[in-house]
Amino acid sequence: MTAVPPRPFSAQPTPKKKNIRIVFNVERSIVAEELNGLCIKTGVAPRDLTKLRLALKHSLFCVTARKLKSRELVGFVRACGDGVFNAELLDLMAYPPGSESGEAVKKQLLLRFKRETRRTMPKCAISTFALPANLVLLLRANFEKDPDGIRAMSLPQGGWSDESPIYPDLSTTINLTESHPPQAKTQSSKG
């Protein structure tokens, strides 16, 4: 018989995973400073608080993920749009970023976002501009890359100038000719 060597003894106990309960809610009012704190924790650049408050005010709704006991914000996504035909998914983030638990929080945020959009705007299309870190998750959540290859365009700050080649002189008079549809001929009734 051969002796089995004893297992090495570790002075460090194996840490137990702590289960933290997370609550997902649709919220109408989010504190901008709290959201900015989540941005910083998830590696997203902090935002100007005045602009962030305005963006939150004009959002259709926000879905949050909070720790049950402490109410700490650990996940967020918001919807913007016209409230009828189009909704845009914005600011999808969860803490800790890139971790298994962070991805699970994002998945639940997406599910709740889709459910709330379908409940409040049943015929609405949902679009997003995905960060590379969220692309796989969005594809798994049934988002599709645009099949026509439509590319998003943006107008950078400072790009509001009227001195564009398209508008050489805004004082130019443009004459429009109206075309009138042909009028239907009425038949006289014989009596």
Q: What is the pLDDT of residue 66?
A: 96
Evaluate if residue 87 carries a pLDDT over 70. yes
* 164 beta partners: none
Any idea which of 36-50, 131-145, 163-177 has the lowest mean pLDDT? 163-177
123 — pLDDT class (breaks 50, 70, 90): confident
Q: What is the pLDDT of residue 18?
A: 75
Evaluate if residue 121 carries a pLDDT over 60. yes
Determine, yes or no, domain membership for 80: yes
Is the pTM higher than 0.85? The answer reads no
Determine, yes or no, domain membership for 155: no
Burial of 63 (0-12, 13-18, 19+ CB in 10 A): buried
The amino acid that residue 51 corresponds to is K
Q: Which long-range contacts (CB under 8 A, 24 or more apart) does 65-69 make?
A: 65/22, 65/23, 65/24, 65/94, 65/105, 65/108, 65/109, 66/22, 66/23, 66/25, 67/20, 67/21, 67/22, 67/23, 68/20, 68/21, 68/22, 68/23, 69/21
**Over residues 49-77, mean pLDDT:** 96
Q: What is the pLDDT of residue 103?
A: 93
Task: Give how many domains the chain has, as a whole number.
Answer: 1
Q: What is the pLDDT of residue 129?
A: 79
Determine, yes or no, domain membership for 65: yes
Q: What is the pLDDT of residue 110?
A: 94
Determine, yes or no, domain membership for 74: yes
The structure tokens listed for 138 are: 């969005």
**Buried b vs exposed e over 21-59: b needs ≥16 C-beta within 10 Å?**
ebebeeeeebebeebbebbebbebeeeeeeebbebbeeb
Please give the Cα distance from 49 to 62 (Å, whole number). 17
Q: What is the pLDDT of residue 14?
A: 59
Determine, yes or no, domain membership for 119: yes
Which CATH number characterizes residue 128's domain?
3.40.630.30
Determine, yes or no, domain membership for 79: yes
Determine, yes or no, domain membership for 175: no
Please give the Cα distance from 20 to 22 (Å, whole number). 6
Domain span at residue 62 reads 22-140
Determine, yes or no, domain membership for 52: yes
